[in-house]
Amino acid sequence: MASYILGIAVIIILCIVAEKISDRLGMPALILFMFIGVAFGSDGILGIKFDDFSFAEEACSIALVFIMFYGGFNTKWSAARPVAGRAVILSTAGVLITAAVTAVLCFLILGMSVKESFLVGSVLSSTDAASVFAILRKKKLNLKDGTASILEVESGSNDPVSYMLTIIAIGMFSTSVTQNIAVMILLQVIVGIVIGVILSFATIAITTKTGIVSDGLDTIFMIAMVLLCYGISVRMQGNAYLSLYIYGIIVGNSKICNKQTLIHFFDGVTSLSQILVFFLIGLLSFPHQMAEIIPTAVFVVIVLTFIARPIAVYVLMLPFGCSVRQCLLMSWAGLRGASSCVFAIMAVASGITMHQDLFHIVFAVTLFSVAIQGGFLPYVANRLQMVDENSDVRKTFNDYQEENSLQLMRMYIPEGHVWAKKKIKQVSMPSGSLAVMIKRNRESIIPKGDTVILPEDSIILSVPPYIPSEEEKLEEITIDKEHKWCDKCIGELKLRKDELIALVIRDEETIIPDGKTEIIDGDIVVMYR
């Protein structure tokens, strides 16, 4: 037992070091996790013989539970809402089109059987949230026209459809399957949605309206609820991954206590899950068997990258007014990763045999997709002029926090003010604040202790940011051109009775608003709820 624990510790440490190295090499860390698995595997340096697909399926399925949940939990719905319709269509109809085109071409050109072609198309039909999230965040890839949010929601929500197709494909290989496919699909979707919604509202009610969960046990309670969501959905023949994503979206965008603590905790759990999945994928591989499947894998890569994915994107996105450049970028960003490999492992573990090695085909496709497509994604975005220098992709995630170690505040000094006609060193300024500039008519003065404050001066103070306690409900909302409040007066907004806009921060100025105050692009609105 001690040897196994020691080995697990060494693997995790190696993967952590690999992630640091990947930043310097400019390649996705997930690739290095796979290579570490290969190095430990049968054809690697350590030569560990591991081909237990049943164990790998169980381990990867548990890891995928947390990856799917966190994909929803860390998605900021306020940023995703404007593009949610397009993203959901791409994550449903887009998956179906990708699977269909891939299956047809595999059948017509590679000579695979109908069942084999459909299985390959199904397993590889979804884009991978872990890969997309990692590249967008690591490279700080800010994309125009809400493209980042589309890719985040699509990649986070399309695994349930791919999973459902994979289950159908596996069933086609079994002669004992008698369940009507249409009934199975309907049951999976309805049960998946219902379980996710019910448990999410139950979680919110328990954490906000009761004292059942003691301080410090929030993370343990959330783990239990995530596993409960998965378990109930599976038991009731629902789509467990759909349940988890919906559960994550609703809970992650609610006002539960200690949300930031939960986000940081599950960010770590998800990172560990990704390490587990990609390491096991590498461990299961036998590089000496790759030569015979390379022609097939290359063909599938070409089909997915240049035919199936572009067809799905252009057919579904052009009617929504997406530009050709945006469609090209979304086509290239259709990365295959952990979920495709997990679904391939599921198929092999269920006893399916094909004329060609399904797992190694998917392994090779994933390797190319993450390494080449993922590695060149920033370059492609720049060449297509789709990089937005004025936005921050981190704002589309719930774990984003403004990097504001200090804030600036403008303070106007009217005639008769207690500070008027006094030196800077003579006035009692708020604790932690510092006068950094005085605006006098059109002149900017850098003040010293002996500088005299005159009536009608505006003093620019640097002040520490206010961090509310857990009981207080203060929220900073950054306004951009797409926000529904932009260019509207506060009096026009339909706020609830328990909501109040307390401050508007505009450039260096802090405004105490009234009903006639107009909210403009770039404002930071401080909301009390």
* pTM given for the model: 0.72
Q: What percent of the chain has pLDDT over 90?
A: 21
- C-beta neighbour count of 497 within 10 angstroms: 5
The Cα 187–Cα 181 span in angstroms is: 10
Q: What percent of the chain has pLDDT over 70?
A: 90
**Are 7-41+57-283+290-396 and 402-465 the same fold in CATH?**
no
User: Which range, of 105-114, 392-401, 427-436, 498-507, averages the lowest pLDDT?
Assistant: 392-401
473, pLDDT greater than 70? no
Q: Helix, strand or coil for residue 504?
A: strand
* pLDDT bucket at 468, cuts 50 / 70 / 90: low
Structure tokens at 82: 């404007």
Residue pLDDT, tens place only, 146-181:
888 888 888 888 888 898 899 888 888 875 554 577
Query: Which position has the higher pLDDT, 226 or 477?
Result: 226
Give the angle subtended at the CA of 101 by the CAs of 98 and 104, to the nearest 5°: 145
Query: Which position has the higher pLDDT, 252 or 467?
Result: 252
* pLDDT bucket at 186, cuts 50 / 70 / 90: confident
User: Averaged over 465-493, what is the pLDDT?
Assistant: 74
User: Which range, of 24-33, 82-91, 372-381, averages the lowest pLDDT?
Assistant: 24-33
User: Averaged over 511-529, what is the pLDDT?
Assistant: 82
Structure confidence at residue 104 (pLDDT): 95
386, pLDDT greater than 70? yes
CATH superfamily, domain 402-465, is Regulator of K+ conductance, C-terminal domain (3.30.70.1450)
320, pLDDT greater than 50? yes
Structure confidence at residue 402 (pLDDT): 46
User: Which range, of 47-51, 233-237, 452-456, averages the lowest pLDDT?
Assistant: 47-51
CA 445 to mean position of chain CA atoms: 45
Domain boundaries, the chain: 7-41+57-283+290-396, 402-465, 471-529
Structure tokens at 227: 């596993």
Residue type, 160: P
Per CATH, which fold does 471-529 belong to? Answer: Alpha-Beta Plaits (3.30.70)
User: Averaged over 3-29, what is the pLDDT?
Assistant: 73
User: Averaged over 18-45, what is the pLDDT?
Assistant: 75
Mean of pLDDT over the chain = 83
Q: Count CA within 13 A, CB hemisphere, residue 122.
A: 25
Structure confidence at residue 121 (pLDDT): 94
Structure confidence at residue 211 (pLDDT): 76
User: Averaged over 200-225, what is the pLDDT?
Assistant: 86
9, pLDDT greater than 80? yes
Structure confidence at residue 307 (pLDDT): 94
Residue type, 191: V
Query: Which position has the higher pLDDT, 484 or 298?
Result: 298
Give the angle subtended at the CA of 388 by the CAs of 383 and 389, to the nearest 5°: 105
Structure confidence at residue 403 (pLDDT): 45
25, pLDDT greater than 80? no
User: Averaged over 250-269, what is the pLDDT?
Assistant: 83
Residue pLDDT, tens place only, 388-432:
776 655 555 655 444 444 567 788 888 888 888 888 888 887 776
User: In which order are the strands placed within the sheet that holds 524-528?
Assistant: 474-478, 524-528, 500-506, 509-511
* pLDDT bucket at 97, cuts 50 / 70 / 90: very high
Start-to-end CA span in the chain (Å): 52
Structure confidence at residue 301 (pLDDT): 92
Q: Where are the beta strands (DSSP E) in 343-455?
A: 407-412, 434-440, 443-445
User: Which range, of 107-121, 450-464, 501-515, averages the lowest pLDDT?
Assistant: 501-515
* pLDDT bucket at 354, cuts 50 / 70 / 90: confident
| CATH of region 7-41+57-283+290-396 | 1.20.1530.20
Query: Residue 234 in contact with residue 243, Cβ under 8 Å?
Result: no
Whole-number CA gyration radius for the chain? 27
User: Averaged over 113-117, what is the pLDDT?
Assistant: 91
